């Protein structure tokens, strides 16, 4: 990633650390937050999304649509959820415990459950890019 994409990614990361009281210099603290991904941010459930590994962009878009739709349904039912691309980083341990066809590749996970409103991590709010920075309009 480069340009505005890496800038936005960094801004999200630093926003996260700031809310959690971790400084940029605190490598251990930052690692601790990154590790939360692999504890599913304390959510009781996680769904893994996989597709045959010979599928390409259009099918990955379908998977993204499925992910987004499931997130909307969960929120509508009063659940909280977090999409996690990081959960695609370790495919084999997941395949040992979940039914995922051997030829499939995990794209992302979705941790979910009822929201713990007292958990400080749930107060993290990510910045949003301005509409004009991500779309152009002509008339």
Catalog residues that contact ligand FMN under the rule CB under 6 A: 37, 82-86, 108, 126
> For residues 74 and 137, which CB has a smaller minimum distance to ligand FMN in the complex?
74
Cβ 55 to ligand FMN shortest distance, Å: 16
> For residues 72 and 126, which CB has a smaller minimum distance to ligand FMN in the complex?
126
> For residues 66 and 100, which CB has a smaller minimum distance to ligand FMN in the complex?
66
**Rounded to 5 degrees, what are φ and ψ at 137?**
-120, 135
> For residues 1 and 137, which CB has a smaller minimum distance to ligand FMN in the complex?
1
Cβ 138 to ligand FMN shortest distance, Å: 28
- CA pair distance 63, 70, nearest whole angstrom: 10
Cβ 35 to ligand FMN shortest distance, Å: 11
CB 74 within 8 A of CB 67: no
Cβ 85 to ligand FMN shortest distance, Å: 4
- CA pair distance 106, 83, nearest whole angstrom: 13
DSSP per-residue codes, 69-127: HHHHHHHHTT-EEEEEGGGGS-HHHHHHHS---TTEEEEEEEEEES--TT-GGGG----
Among all residues, whose Cβ is closest to ligand FMN? 86
């Amino acid at each position: 990633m480069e340009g505005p994409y890496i800038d936005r990614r960094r801004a999200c990361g630093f926003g996260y650390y700031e809310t959690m009281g971790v400084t940029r210099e605190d490598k251990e603290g930052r690692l601790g937050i990154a590790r939360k991904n692999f504890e599913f941010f304390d959510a009781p459930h996680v769904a893994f999304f996989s597709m045959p590994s010979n599928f390409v962009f259009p099918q990955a878009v379908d998977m993204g649509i499925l992910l987004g739709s499931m997130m909307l349904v969960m929120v509508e039912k009063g659940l909280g959820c977090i999409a996690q691309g990081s959960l695609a980083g370790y495919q084999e341990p997941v395949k040992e415990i979940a039914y995922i066809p051997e030829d499939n590749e995990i794209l992302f996970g979705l941790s979910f459950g009822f929201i713990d409103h007292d958990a400080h991590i749930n107060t993290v709010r990510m910045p949003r890019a301005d509409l004009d920075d991500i779309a152009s309009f002509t008339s």
